[in-house]
Structure 1
């Protein structure tokens, strides 16, 4: 059986015998680690090519704490958030977003069109009306002839003040669901601006475009999905379980700590995953690494409450100590609390993805 995630990290990051660091073993370990992150190959998009959308950066910092550990999981709808920039890059109010990276198997939870509304170019008489409003409607393009009713489908409509200069968000979940099920149906979006009386406003209302404005204001689709990848036990960082922790000061002390671990009992030890060290810093935006921790130490009789033993582990340690049954080993020191982490990264199409991964950090250790 292939090693666990903790064993993979120890193999990749910790010193050991020469065969443990051979190119073949390292390659296999990295491949397996990519599978844990739901990928076949590492994305090739370099982080330096462009800035991630500020919305995605803000969302990442809202749901995560130190080292990417989840602090507010209830704020994230599903376990994956993607941002797609407009590929049409024209001056008209038509937008196109390439969603080909979304798998059909993913559950579409919500999709939003984010547009940066610029201040309207108003005539002198209209400028006097500070509370002037307009109606902005977003349509899914069904046919190239959008002048006919059957050529488009209404997705969202809102009443907006003309004078505002801010981001506006429209729900487009139905269109995105169609596009992910049938890529050929993706003909883009059309935005129509009208007065409250239904008259079109041709040049008064403008939205930033990918062609004429800074990348921080480019039109964007934000998609919330769930790929139903779930761990066995996910805990949030708001829990504060009893944790005994030993810090390894330097590599020379590791062998000494290994020998003393049996005397100290089951403890949690640092295990820092440096994405630059394993060659992933080119596509991961944040975090630059995280502390996965690992559990080490003996679970010998008598098991104290500080070792957080289960009843089964307590009985097993007694049977082992009394030699009542041949071949019964001592209980194992393993994580009994696991936290999730979040990665913010560029995929192969330079879309920014925020993804949550369960059971990635050992929160505490116990005898099992």
Structure 2
């Protein structure tokens, strides 16, 4: 499958955070930057992308950063890919862990792409049907005053992969269908 900016739907940088039971602080801010220019290695031009505050002493975990915009730029201008920079501000001693060559915990980039044949027929593949849910009438939720309801819509058939993911939206729709089984088809789960 060709990788280009037109068929990129989402890109995530995944980085594993190791547990540090001897950390001096209980929380740590991790910042992610896109390196725009690396002419001067001491102070490269960079753009802030995102940050996360993590608990340092808890079990190791995968952190995901949405890097769709940066990867899209790289796919349009491949010569501008200078990478990412992760920044931490650590009080006290700093331990540096060397990356193992084929570690299962190595950082990786996950790209979600649509095949080119899906790009032309996205509307034909979509099986979205309209459905308005009134919180009081349909679900019996008297505790929500505004909005009165929302357009939940639903999927009726085989939808493209990326649009059929389980979401909070489909969970509310699932509850609606449990209460009103004859009302509409169930939401798409993949």
* TM interval, short-chain normalised: 0.5 to 0.7
2:109 to 212, 216, 221: 221
> Could you give the per-residue CA deviations for residues 79-113 of structure 1, whole angstroms, max 9, x where no partner exists?
xxxxxxxxxxxxxxxxxxxxxx5134x23332111
**What's the counterpart of residue 18 of structure 2?**
118
Q: Distance in 2 between matches of 1:116 and 1:138?
A: 13
C-alpha displacement at 1:214, in angstroms?
5.1
CA RMSD after TM alignment: 3.4
Q: Distance in 1 between matches of 2:41 and 2:20?
A: 24
> Could you give the per-residue CA deviations for residues 18-59 of structure 1, whole angstroms, max 9, x where no partner exists?
xxxxxxxxxxxxxxxxxxxx6xxxxxxxxxxxxxxxxxxxxx
- Alignment check: 8 A CA contact 1:142 1:187 kept: yes
- Alignment check: 8 A CA contact 2:14 2:65 kept: yes
Larger radius of gyration: 1
Q: Distance in 2 between matches of 1:202 and 1:181?
A: 41
C-alpha displacement at 1:171, in angstroms?
1.5
C-alpha displacement at 1:203, in angstroms?
2.6
C-alpha displacement at 1:119, in angstroms?
1.5
**What's the counterpart of residue 193 of structure 1?**
88
C-alpha displacement at 1:178, in angstroms?
1.2
1:156 to 50, 58, 61: 50
Q: Distance in 1 between matches of 2:51 and 2:160?
A: 36
TM-score by structure 2 length? 0.53
**What's the counterpart of residue 94 of structure 2?**
203
Task: For residue 217 of structure 1, give the secondary structure of its aligned residue in structure 2.
Answer: coil
C-alpha displacement at 1:151, in angstroms?
1.5
Q: Distance in 1 between matches of 2:34 and 2:49?
A: 7
Q: Distance in 2 between matches of 1:217 and 1:160?
A: 17
Q: Distance in 1 between matches of 2:87 and 2:93?
A: 9
> Could you give the per-residue CA deviations for residues 155-185 of structure 1, whole angstroms, max 9, x where no partner exists?
1111111123111111212211111001110
Residues 198-277 of structure 1 aligned to structure 2 (within 5 Å): 203-204=94-95, 211-212=99-100, 215-227=103-115, 229-230=117-118, 234=125
Q: Distance in 2 between matches of 1:155 and 1:203?
A: 24
Structure 1, unaligned runs of 5 or more: 1-37, 39-100, 237-337, 343-368
Residues 1-368 of structure 1 aligned to structure 2 (within 5 Å): 102-104=3-5, 106-120=6-20, 122=22, 126=24, 132-144=26-38, 145-148=40-43, 151-164=45-58, 165-195=60-90, 203-204=94-95, 211-212=99-100, 215-227=103-115, 229-230=117-118, 234=125
**What's the counterpart of residue 148 of structure 2?**
none
Over 3 Å counting, the alpha-carbon distance change for 1:177 and 1:163 in structure 2 is same
